[in-house]
Homo-oligomer: A and B are copies of this chain.
Amino acid sequence: MNRMQVVYRVAGSAGEIEARARAIAVEQSIEMPPHAVRNHRVSAEVLGRVEQIVADGPDHFLVTISLALETTGFEAGQMMNMLFGNSSLHPDLTLLDVDLEVQAASRFGGPRFGLDGLRRLVGAGKRPLTCTALKPQGSTVEELAELAGQFAEAGIDIIKDDHGLADQHSTPFAQRVAAVQEAVDAANRASGHRTLYAPSLTGGPARQRKQLTVARELGVGALLIAPMISGCGALQELADEGVPILAHPALAGAARISPTLLLGKLFRLFGADAVIYPNHGGRFSFAPALCRDIARTARTAWAGLASSVPVPAGGMHPDRVEELVEFYGRDVMLLIGGALLEAEDTRAAASAFVQRVALCEHRG
């Protein structure tokens, strides 16, 4: 089909909602008065259409609008633009859900590795995956490489840059990535593990292109990007690079796009193999039900796409491993950062983390 179904939750009264829904359909397509459109094809095919209006509580409605896929060009940034670009400037609606057919989803790309591919890459069988972050920013290259070596020796599956590591003076991208990858490679040779390092890509097009060239040359095994910082288009292009992509939720807390949609569906649609999000009970306030929803949405069969691995994060602790695997099941990657750094012996803490997760192979 040529259209996608988009659901908005709109505040309003029964007397106003039809007009409001039509206005949203216009705003998210032709963005001009429909009667002034002279091209008949545009009126017939491009203009958004109100498909359904359903009450949702006393003051809200769920409005389903179909938008022509051609307006997205199947480009991720343009998809975000057509879903919510101008409407983000209106205070009365939230972007709740999107549905599209398999053929359309495949044109966006989706995860090239997904949960299964990531497991194969690191040799994880059916167990949950483990992840940690190199912190804090401002550290020296040597400090971060040393830390990476310890984490890799402990057997953590994916070591990512803290998303605050970019191209700053203290650890410029090229030097940092070279040193960290070398430390990870050395640890892998010694241990037989297949730990992946995911450096954080940042900057505009020219800077990211340089970083990508460096990363390729150094044989980096994964990449981290924050799509709401760098643009969803950057995530989509990275998915063609041949390595798994982790999506970070920085700046993704826009109060009016459903986190379940953004993290569990859209980042996945655009090519994220793993989606990081704030877990309940840590530093952030996402409720357990929301966390469960995000994880479930990222993994559930949708539009023919591979599953993305959900990566709960933020104030997590090794003592919570069993509780979290109980909550999420085994199809999850646990990201523990600060708690490992707080330990007297970081390497021992990392090993203990890895071992507790390995024991979960038969749980969940």
Contact = CB atoms under 8 A, between A and B. Distances in A.
Contacts of A92: 285
Interface string A224-267: 00101111111111100000000001111111100000000000
Interface in A22-75: 23, 27, 29-33, 35-39, 41-42, 45-46, 68, 70-73, 75
A285 B90 contact: yes
Interface stretch (A133-141, A215-223, A295-303, A353-361): A133-141
Interface stretch (A98-106, A121-129, A162-170, A184-192): A162-170
Nearest to A206: B237
A226 B85 contact: yes
Interface string A125-163: 000000000011111100100000000000000000011
A91 B137 contact: no
A181 interface: no
Interface size class of chain A, counting residues whose CB lies under 8 Å from the partner chain: 35 or more
Contact of A166 (B78, B166, B338): B78
Q: Which 8 A-B residue pairs are closest in the complex by CB-CB distance?
A: A85-B250, A88-B253, A204-B233, A46-B138, A204-B237, A205-B205, A30-B136, A32-B338
Contacts of A337: 31-32
A87 B164 CA distance: 13
B338 A33 contact: yes
Nearest to A45: B138
A342 interface: yes
A136 B37 contact: yes
A320 interface: no
B205 A135 contact: no
A180 B70 CA distance: 21
Given A77-B202, A204-B231, A231-B229, A31 B250 contact: no
A46 to B, nearest CB: 4
A209 interface: yes
A27 to B, nearest CB: 7
Question: Looking at A39, A87, A254, which has the most chain B CB atoms within 10 Å of its CB?
Answer: A254
Given A84-B251, A206-B209, A230-B231, 20 more contacts: A30-B164, A31-B337, A31-B338, A32-B338, A36-B341, A37-B136, A39-B139, A71-B137, A71-B168, A73-B202, A78-B229, A81-B163, A89-B286, A91-B253, A204-B234, A205-B205, A205-B209, A207-B237, A209-B209, A251-B254
A5 interface: no
A208 interface: yes
A278 interface: yes
Question: Looking at A35, A80, A229, which has the most chain B CB atoms within 10 Å of its CB?
Answer: A229
Nearest to A27: B283
B138 A71 contact: yes
Contact of A91 (B38, B226, B255): B255
A110 B46 CA distance: 37
Contacts of A226: 77, 81, 85
Contacts of A327: none
A85 B138 contact: no
Interface string A2-26: 0000000000000000000001000
